[in-house]
Amino acid sequence: MALPSSLSEKSSVQQTSVGTAIPEPSLVDAPVDHHPDSPLSTSGVVNVRQDDATGKHGSDKGAPKTEDAHDENVIVVAWDGPDDPENPRNWTSKRKWTIALTVSAFTFISPLSSTMIAPAAGQIASGFNITDEFQVNLSISIFVLAYAVGPLVLGPLSEIFGRTPVLRGCNLFFTAWNLGCGFAQSERQLIAFRFLAGLGGSAPLAAGGAVLGDLFAPEERGKAMALYTLAPLLGPAIGPIVGGWIAERSTWRWVFWSTSIAAGVIQIVGIFTLKESFGPVLLDRKAKKIRANLDAENSGEVRTMFQKTAKKRNYRHFFFVSICRPFILSVQEPIVQLFGLYLAFVYGIIYLVLTTIPEIYTNIYHNTPGIVGLHYIGLGIGLFVCSQINSRLSDVIYKKLKERNGGVGEPEHRLRLLVAGWGAQERTHWIVPDIGFALIGGGMVLSFQGMMMYIVEAFTMYAASALAAVSFLRSIAAFGFPLFAPAMYNRLGYGVANTILAAIAFVIGVPAILGLYTYGKKIRGMSKHANKHPMKNFKK
């Protein structure tokens, strides 16, 4: 079956522009034996009929093996060669980094809001006549609890509808409810609005890393991921600094209103800078254009290289499978389980630190909210400096290890730099001095960034679902740790309590990192979802 003349040119089809409207569900599947970082997608496949896939190229190795493999009425839509300008990997550096910065801004503003009210907790307690310390901490932590729930749905949705509509829509949802927090008239309203705002703000944590996986090749991904993964750690550290001065010079309500204004600005910028990057969705738009131009005589099935069949699928079933995928990964994938457990502990510790700083410097040192906020600078310095070191070294180390491995890159190459974080991570008992906060921040960012990059490269096609599964565990910890912190510190004291936490971190982290570095490739080989293809050099 031939394409209409208006659509056929050099065995390809006309390109469709990358739109910004919410697309119809693409119902995409990863083809058998295919992965986004394999040569198939990065080198490109010319758009041809499925029955031509073997004849023209002389081999069936590049063609996905599906039930339509020998159906001459099926058109397979793929990238137009290795230099297809619509393939996100071939976009200009300026365009890719503009999107990366926009995604990082989305990822920064939400965690910033999670802790901005910490220095104003006393004002909120006085305003609503709250005397229970647990309830005060709940109004802060409830935001992070939503981080556990949101990605489980939003991550898979980004794999169905695309990254852009999920990120934009959820940021708008976050902005609206965060604005509502400033108008809350009771403690219950504040807690409810904070939870809803957290749901919207969780989208970048689920889909942001997947966007970078769409845009950057593995050997280019380190700097972009360093920027992105810094945002959810640096945001909570900067939040109390800004929130403390706002609360001291105005009211706690302006803490929410100011972040909503900032989120609104980012939303407007994102309209112009954030473009869809998920390959299956982009090719599905291309396939829709072909279907629309096929005449009745040439009617046939059209599918993309990411779909196993051109037959009509049950949308409800596919949606259910996509939503269940994070839970499936949590149960079936040891990589997700190990990193989820450790990152849960890391994220719990950082929120433990963030919520105990106001208590320490207000009750012991009698600082004002504005001065209390300044003590977060040490944590921020540690996060920023080590993030910059990581961004410089990560890609360099990855490329050298790839060269030693015969030009084949492995996700395990991302794990060596994690060892550098342990010297700082084990000093978490120095919680009171600001130098201790810097060491804590440095150790955490090195661990966090390395693990996030590993997850994206190990589960590129399902990166959003894998990140959602990991985010669930770490957000539960970030919600729960600050709630039990007062009782723990009152009973054990800061030195003993944090030494115990450091020991637990060591016991969890070292086996996970060393085990995956040694046996990670074998574990991925047994996985149903992880990337089994070596990331070889490809022509760009």
In this prediction, residue 249 carries a pLDDT of: 86
Candidates 353, 354, 349, 327; CA nearest to 470 is 327
Question: What number is the average pLDDT over the span 248-267?
Answer: 93
In this prediction, residue 435 carries a pLDDT of: 67
- Helix/strand/coil percentages in the chain, nearest 5: 70, 5, 30
Q: How far is CA 511 from CA 31, 389, 417, 419, in A?
A: 34, 24, 15, 12
Residue 208 lies in a domain: yes
pLDDT, tens digit, for every residue of 380-416? 787 777 777 766 665 555 555 545 544 444 443 333 3
The CA distance from 495 to 13, in Å, is 66
What is the share, in percent, of the chain residues with pLDDT greater than 70?
67
pLDDT, tens digit, for every residue of 91-126? 999 999 999 999 999 999 998 998 888 778 888 888
Residue 62 lies in a domain: no
Looking from the CA of 85 toward its CB, the CA atoms found within 13 Å total 7
What is the share, in percent, of the chain residues with pLDDT greater than 90?
18
Residue 228 lies in a domain: yes
DSSP annotation of 131 reads -
Do the Cβ atoms of 293 and 7 come closer than 8 Å? Answer: yes
The CA distance from 305 to 533, in Å, is 17
pLDDT, tens digit, for every residue of 437-455? 677 777 777 777 777 777 7
Residue 132 lies in a domain: yes
CATH code of the domain in which 434 resides = 1.20.1250.20
Count: domains in the chain? 1
Question: What number is the average pLDDT over the span 51-63?
Answer: 36
The CA distance from 356 to 316, in Å, is 45
In this prediction, residue 42 carries a pLDDT of: 36
Do the Cβ atoms of 293 and 16 come closer than 8 Å? Answer: no
Residue 294 lies in a domain: no
Residue 537 lies in a domain: no
Which amino acid would we find at residue 494?
A: Y
Q: How far is CA 251 from CA 116, 183, 244, 356, 363, in A?
A: 12, 12, 10, 21, 21
Give residues with Cβ within 8 angstroms of 302, minimum separation 6: 74, 75, 77, 287, 290, 291, 294, 310
Residue 540 lies in a domain: no
Tokens 């659509």 found at: 7
> What global pTM score does this model have?
0.69
Between 150 and 25, whose confidence is greater?
150
Candidates 10, 202, 144; CA nearest to 482 is 144
Q: How far is CA 94 from CA 85, 90, 264, 372, 474, in A?
A: 14, 11, 24, 39, 33
Domain span at residue 353 reads 88-275+322-528
Residue 512 lies in a domain: yes
53-67, 205-219, 276-290, 344-358 — which one is most confidently predicted on average? 276-290
Under the banding of pLDDT at 50, 70 and 90, the label for residue 23 is: very low
